[in-house]
Structure 1
Amino acid sequence: MAAKLVAPAFSAAAMVAPDETAYDLFQLLRSSRSSRLPCLDQHLPGLLSPGHAVVLHGEANSGKSVLLRNVLAAQLLPVRCGGHGLPAVLIDAENQCDVWLLAKVLQERARAGDQLATTEAVTEALGRLLIFRPSEPLELLRQLQRLRQILRQNPTAGLLVIDSLSAWHSMSAAFPRSTGATLKECWRAVWRLMREACVAAVISHRDGQLEFSLELEAIHLGVGCCPKVVEEAEGDAPRGSQRECFYLAPWGKELDTTDPQSAQTFFVISPAGEVVSIPTLGLGDQLVAVEGP
């Protein structure tokens, strides 16, 4: 029987080790932190550092939510397992977050040796996550205001993840003066949180109504699907097996798989949901791009 994961309470006290001072914790929170994902860090080194913001633009099923789960894993996992061991806040605006998918990624990335140690690491990581699930833009705005108060009392959450801030696209199109104005204020509330609480923000956003996302001073990256890639045989995988590949590029740039010097990065997704960065998409020793979807 699989071990049941029980998430402990979200608190600042739980973050401070017995031999750690408040100053030590402050220095940790202010330090530069990467996402542990080369495909993301190449675009913004120290992605999870205080004050950094990334908006991932892309259509449905383009890999945005998978990237967000892996970013959360890097933030939440204990240092001994390769993470930063810091709390995070997830705003699940789409109401599609499956905690067990996140736990699967945490388990894959923890690699703590024996099963008990891995389960303890995953439980510890999930205990650092606070989740909000707004049902409408006005509730999201209220939750962001509540989060502002929470972070004043517990100034240890260094990362805010929102999936996604385009959840109410149809509502804002139908009611631009009410819903649209509220969503615009939500973007501004996120920006205020970043400045006041010194948090990093990673936000997914479907293309459309981009003027809202431009309210936030952030790196804007496009996420999408590439042509499939042919992989060399590895382990039990058959030679020539195909896996779907995804790309990250500065938003607005067209995909170009022929230019190795372009600002594009590529990744594939493992069966466990782990993002695996690949160095290039083109003729090479490991991967070969093929035409067609």
Structure 2
Amino acid sequence: MLKKEMYMAAGDGCHPIVKIISEIRKAVKENAPLIHCITNPISIHDCANVVLAAGARPMMAEHPEEVAEITVTAGALALNLGNITDARKASILIAGKTAMEHDIPVIVDMVGIGCSHFRKNIIREFLDQRVKGARLILKGNMSELMALALEHHDVSGVDVAPEDILSKDHAEEGIRLAKDVAKKYHAVVLASGATDLVTDGEKVYMIHNGSEMMAKITGTGCMLNVLTAAYMSSGFILEGAVAACVVLGISGEIASERCSGTGSFQTEFLDALFSMTDTQIEEKIRGQVS
């Protein structure tokens, strides 16, 4: 099914997505959009720095009485269910509805919806207030996507269950699930993992960039969420998600070559993201599209 490599294309040797990624990155750096992030305190510092490294401006406001006012000034909204509180729940719903009413693109990271009915109900409430035509990305690992799609699929903790990991043995099953979710909710789906899957229900991207070191620090999934929001602000939704997966994955690869441990990995990771060139993306991108 997935036969065409991203970097293989007739004529110039590059898949068109490489050029689109370049356009997205350039637009963010030139326009410096405000990215409103309602995330969790575990990774909030790293998320803010990732947005800055991409060339955008982070705003981490989460009080229910101010989020609507701030959201309307943003280029994109990033929501995250990690470490959920009553106030953060209210803010997610208020900001999400405000963004959709004002045609501001939204990405929601469905952290832990397979291990808590409370979190799953927040997502259902969020989707129930969906505005027709709103630009939306639903992000999660494969266990979280299954929890959204199926009535009964529970896991322990926020990590993907081993049996749900996207692999060659059941790639088709994972792709089918992601496409079904995308079609059902009229959204782009970003299934993160060792291989990232991005689909709008029709086109499917599989991104193979990344490093095992990324799993040894906390918050890389949250960082992917806010980086996607930054790139969504360019107006590219599907491609913005692909760009974020590629750029973050390559940053991890570069950092793992330069670091001596998890501490230096974090520094090298941010440096790689900040200084990444189009040439590095062209040389290192690995993935398939169908």
User: Could you state the TM-score of these two structures normalised by the residue count of structure 1?
Assistant: 0.37
Higher strand proportion: 1
- Answer with 1 or 2: which has the greater Rg: 1
Higher helix proportion: 2
